[in-house]
Chains A and B, each alone.
Chain A
Amino acid sequence: MSADTPGNGQTPVLELKDLSKSFGGLHAVRGVTFRIMPGDRKAIIGPNGAGKTTLFNLITGIFPASSGQVLLFGKDVTGWQSHRRTALGMARTFQITSLFPRLTVLDNVLLAIKGLRSSKFVMWRFLSSYRDVYDKAHQLLEQAAFTDRANTEVRYLSHGEQRQLEIVLGLASDPKILLLDEPAAGLSSGESVEMTEFLMRLDPKLAILLIEHDMDVVFDLAHTISVLHFGEVLETGKPEQIKNSQKVQEIYLGTG
């Protein structure tokens, strides 16, 4: 993203500066630098083991970075814990579905909404007495066509529904940047088209950083694509550019 100039007066939602992570001798992420502006849709692709999920874990604070910086809305959050980063306006989903399996769909969403409200510490009042939170939850569920399953325990949902709920949970905190870790993982082609349409309907001001193996999803959704290979950004560009890049085809798309 060397073409990016900070001259347009906007603060990047997310900026990585020379971010690296090693596990012992393994350099999982090496010197990654990029910047995401409000409303950007960026995808990170790369073969398995390229360090994509590790990069997400560094951005969200699940792992501490070995070196480099993570800036959220211009603030250096490199040493921060996850929950504080979320409070700034970041949300993520997980490649391996991470919902609350024995709670209902509604409860899952309620927890997600409460996460950034100080009333999460209230212990003398029933959660069910918070009308505004319930209204918001129902609105989110309606948006994702989940209303009829609001009282189903999440473990009884199909895989596709769980993947979609992952994203609903991510959206519940009204984030300004959403990190999607393979939203279409394990979906049938029909389901992944639905997923893409759902994602394309989201607020255009929301910045999205996406990891995905399904190239149809990536090319439909992303404005820019970065290719990660052995922890390094190999190439960054518009979808067309990446599609036609010789290097990328060799390592990732296959030469056929």
Chain B
Amino acid sequence: MRSHTLKILMVIVALAAIAVVVPNTNSFVILLVTRALAFSILVMSLDILLGYTGLASLGQAAYLGVGAYATAIFATKYHFGLGWDFWLVLLMGILLGAALAAVFGLLAIRASGVYFLMITLALGQCVWGLAYRWNSLTGGDNGINLRERPKFGGLDLANEMTFFFLVFGVFVVSLLLMYTLVRSPFGRSLAGIRERELRMQILGYNTWLHKYIAFIIAGGFGGLSGVLWAHTAGIVSPENVVLTTSVDALLMAVLGGAGTLVGGVIGAFIVFGLREFLSTLVPWWQYVLGVVYVATILYLPTGLMGIPERLRQKRAQPDKHGEATGAATLHPAEKRS
């Protein structure tokens, strides 16, 4: 219980630090953090599926794509969503993401494990195919350039600081909503499904429905993330919905620690950070990322967020769980030498 309060405090401090420190840096960092925050919403939405429900989705970029393309198309073709109506577009992004997930979920939720992964991958690629081929609507391979950001009231989102605070605000609200979700009776039922679905059915849960609802909610947050992403990047192209983007989101969640929400955010910051800094240093930066991923999965299956817990267990091992680890604890002196 105590450690839980501590964790919440740490998250609050970290958020406050971001809100205070970032605006005082240069525009490069502000943009970088804004991108990471916008993408983090997608990673957290994926974590609801991956970490809390036990569904590894490989098509999460599709929902980001729907939100992003909708924003770009409305803005460029109809000049819609560049004033107060930006909030309408935001809502629409959520609804479109959720609607797409509602359709895809009907196909995907029946499957589990690797089959679920394959189906979500295939569905995600369908969205990519549409984005790539439907030239008249999506601009094909070139994508759509957004020439301006919304202006409303006294706020001009073209100002990177203003825009950063908008994304930051939406991010914090999303985090709060998703945190409430995972701690709610519904969220706990997802954890039960992750642990043992059959038992949940016997306990009276319609597990299909719970998974389906979770899938739709994740899609909604994905759409929301897409709206922000479109205005952050200023361009929406098939690259946003390609498999790599889905894989990125999945790896960020795993790197930070699946089933923790904030773990995915940390993962996103690390990957975005590494990518920006490394790509200016070496041309083979992608290999570094690859090594980071592989090392995480091999040595830190619970992600970075799992480190404190692992340290605590290591410390407790010699006296408490000694019998479980055999030689390592029986002869600690030998091990060390």
Chain A residues close to B by CB (< 8 Å) = 60, 62, 81-83, 86-87, 91-92, 94, 98-103, 107, 110-112, 114-117, 119-128, 130, 169, 172-173
Q: Which of B188, B192, B204 contacts A83 (CB 8 A)?
A: B204
Structural contact, A123 and B203, CB atoms closer than 8 A: no
Structural contact, B199 and A102, CB atoms closer than 8 A: no
Q: Separation in Å of the B184 CB from the closest CB of chain A?
A: 4
One digit per residue, 1 when the CB lies within 8 angstroms of any chain A CB and 0 when it does not, for chain B 166-184 equals: 0000000000000011011
Chain B residues with CB under 8 Å of A122's CB are 184-186
Chain B residues close to A by CB (< 8 Å) = 180-181, 183-189, 191-192, 195-196, 198-207, 213, 217
Structural contact, A127 and B202, CB atoms closer than 8 A: no
Q: Separation in Å of the B220 CB from the closest CB of chain A?
A: 12
Chain B residues with CB under 8 Å of A98's CB are 196, 198-199, 202
Structural contact, A111 and B202, CB atoms closer than 8 A: no
Known interface pairs A62-B198, A99-B196, A103-B191; A115-B184 also in contact (CB < 8 Å): no
Known interface pairs A101-B195, A120-B189; A127-B183 also in contact (CB < 8 Å): yes
Structural contact, B196 and A83, CB atoms closer than 8 A: no
Known interface pairs A103-B192, A114-B189; A86-B202 also in contact (CB < 8 Å): yes
Structural contact, B201 and A83, CB atoms closer than 8 A: yes
Interface centre among B181, B185, B207, by most chain A C-beta atoms within 10 angstroms, is B185
Chain A residue with minimal CB distance to B179?
A126
Structural contact, B186 and A100, CB atoms closer than 8 A: no
Chain A residues with CB under 8 Å of B191's CB are 100, 103, 107
Chain B residues with CB under 8 Å of A111's CB are 188-189, 192, 200, 203
Chain A residues with CB under 8 Å of B192's CB are 100, 103, 111
Chain B residues with CB under 8 Å of A110's CB are 188
Structural contact, A124 and B188, CB atoms closer than 8 A: no
Q: Which of A107, A115, A116, A117 contacts B200 (CB 8 A)?
A: A115
Chain A residues with CB under 8 Å of B201's CB are 62, 81-83, 86
Q: Separation in Å of the B98 CB from the closest CB of chain A?
A: 14
Structural contact, B189 and A83, CB atoms closer than 8 A: no
Chain B residues with CB under 8 Å of A124's CB are 180-181, 184
Structural contact, B184 and A116, CB atoms closer than 8 A: no
Chain A residues with CB under 8 Å of B196's CB are 98-101
Structural contact, A123 and B180, CB atoms closer than 8 A: yes
Chain B residues with CB under 8 Å of A130's CB are 185
Structural contact, B199 and A94, CB atoms closer than 8 A: yes
Chain A residues with CB under 8 Å of B206's CB are 81, 83
